[in-house]
Structure 1
Amino acid sequence: MNTDPIADYLTRVRNAIKANHRVVEIPASNLKKEITKVLFDKGYITNYKFEDSTVQGTIKIALKYHPITKIPAIRTITRVSSPGLRQYAGMDNMPRVLNGLGIAILSTSKGVMTDKEARSLNIGGEVLCYVY
């Protein structure tokens, strides 16, 4: 039994990047699917596919690397909020990752989005992770 599925998701992506894998498979959930969509929209991954072959389903993520230097697009991906200590950010104390070069993924009342999108909508939420 996994107590923190988001941390498991981020760890699988981090380990696949360190091992220079092209594709990583992750057990699916609705929150993980939304995080994957945000990573794709912001250009951190090449592509993704949701497969419903099993009861839970899986997410296949194609990781993105620089074509010449082979440096991954995701340099660091870290979990912020955990089940034991939730981290919330309001409109006034929204985090800025690398002074705006990275993104913070938030779970808000309007869905999963980046810190910039939440700032433009004037809403806060739970800070799930930082990506840069």
Structure 2
Amino acid sequence: MSLTDPIADMLTRLRNASRARHPEAAFPGSRQKVAILDILKREGYIAGYVVKDEEKKQSIQVKLKYAGREPVIRQLERVSKPGRRHYVNARDLKPVRNNMGIAIVSTSQGVMTGRKAKKLNIGGEVICRVW
């Protein structure tokens, strides 16, 4: 099976697993997914993740984080899609939910939060927003 948008698939699996209150979510791996998960872990949206290397395949298992019975991730929203890419300048990077969320941006210097990209004065492709 071929996926048109593997990042959207990962975000959907994370969203569905957290809403169903599952302790973990699993999906096929890639370097960009690992970079996004690094940011989610650093910002406190997930408890952790493990990358498993099997024969010619990589899979990722994410441990989800909850505040009591409520998931820490309220919403994951894909911004830039394969059919409609969304690029922004550093000055056009706006706060997500009055700084209660984050934007994840793919820049020439790697994947980072919107806040960090704005501080470094570099723009890029807005991958998703999380709050």
Query: Normalising to structure 2: TM-score of the pair?
Result: 0.96
1:55 Cα deviation after fit: 1.6
Counterpart-to-counterpart distance in 1, 2:82 and 2:121: 25
Amino acid at match of 1:42: E
Question: Aligned-pair RMSD on alpha carbons?
Answer: 0.8
Can you list the C-alpha shifts for 1:45-74, whole angstroms capped at 9, x where unaligned? Answer: 0011111024221111000001xx311110
Counterpart-to-counterpart distance in 1, 2:55 and 2:88: 36
Percent of residue pairs bearing the same amino acid type: 47
1:112-123 paired onto structure 2 within 5 Å? 112-123=111-122
Partner in structure 1 of residue 13 of structure 2: 12
Partner in structure 2 of residue 74 of structure 1: 73
Partner in structure 1 of residue 27 of structure 2: 26
Counterpart-to-counterpart distance in 2, 1:9 and 1:78: 11
1:1-132 paired onto structure 2 within 5 Å? 1-66=2-67, 69-132=68-131
Q: What SS does structure 1 have at the residue aligned with 2:98?
A: helix
- Is the 8 Å Cα contact of residues 94 and 115 (structure 1) preserved in structure 2? yes
Q: What SS does structure 1 have at the residue aligned with 2:90?
A: coil
Q: Which runs of 5+ in 1 are unaligned?
A: none
Query: Normalising to structure 1: TM-score of the pair?
Result: 0.96
Q: What is the aligned residue count?
A: 130
Can you list the C-alpha shifts for 1:31-90, whole angstroms capped at 9, x where unaligned? Answer: 001001000000000011111024221111000001xx3111100001000000000110
Counterpart-to-counterpart distance in 2, 1:8 and 1:56: 17
- Is the 8 Å Cα contact of residues 91 and 121 (structure 2) preserved in structure 1? no
Amino acid at match of 1:130: R
Q: Which runs of 5+ in 2 are unaligned?
A: none
Counterpart-to-counterpart distance in 2, 1:43 and 1:31: 19
Amino acid at match of 2:114: D
